[in-house]
Amino acid sequence: MTRHAQQTQTFGERLTATIAARGPLCVGIDPHAPLLEKWGLPDSPDGLARFTDTVVDALAGSVAVLKPQLAFYERHGSKGLAVLEDGVARARAAGALVLLDAKRGDIGSTMAAYADYLRPEHPLAVDAMTVSPYLGAGSLEPAVATAREHGGGLFVLARTSNPDAGSLQLVGTPSVAQRVVDTVRGWNAETPGGSFGLVVGATLDELDVDLAGLGGPVLAPGLGAQGGSAGDVRRLFGTGTVVLPSVSRDVLSAGPDVAGLRAAAHRWAESLTA
């Protein structure tokens, strides 16, 4: 796919096809300073580039989704974003879908500008991005419109598993988290294709939102270093929902050896399909 090519499929359709071909694993690309140091790399744009190139070369040809964390590139300024731009383009060219972990959330023209990452002509065009709904569901409408127009996807923060998340997400009846789920379910009902998903942590003690009829995928972060397992994914989500389990440190810690990165990702992929 060329960088400016218009999508002929929805993100949901591309995700389903990619998971069928490669399995359901998402690997986060999180080049924080301690990890760069562990790899023997400087905390600089050059170290960032060497890290990103290695991860993309190792995994983009086999993993379904790569999920770069935007903050770790922004902290290096314009040179960091240039590294990300190159890495995203090369990952997509190798067949991986790219989910930009940006967690953006705002209103009006600002939200529309954030959503430009989903436009194929954007210099850092990605397949999907994470967004935050806590300015209200209507705040995300510009991103929803851009995703619909260009075949992009959104993953909306709904029920995360950080320790104090429930203090906000479980307030009310139905809970705030359930209202987010219901909103995203409505988007998918209006535009079939499964392009609108949720972020639901894989380390929850129990699934306290109703995902029935969601019509889109669930990004389930928290595997590995955060304590989540393939068994937790099966326990929480069962069957009938497209789940994209996400792991970062447990794979990235196997670098900078390319074979080690591939082996770590393969072990996780196998455990999720066992």
The residues annotated as belonging to the active site are 103
Alpha-carbon span 55 to 254, nearest angstrom: 10
**Residues 56, 51: Cα–Cα separation, whole Å:** 9
Left, alpha or beta for 168 (phi > 0: left; psi -120 to 50: alpha)? alpha
Quote the CA–CA distance of 215 and 178 in Å, as a whole number.
15
Per-residue 3-state assignment (H helix, E strand, C coil) for 36-73: HHHCCCCCCHHHHHHHHHHHHHHHCCCCCEEEEEHHHH
- By C-alpha distance, which of 220, 257, 221 is closest to 241? 220
DSSP state of 6: P
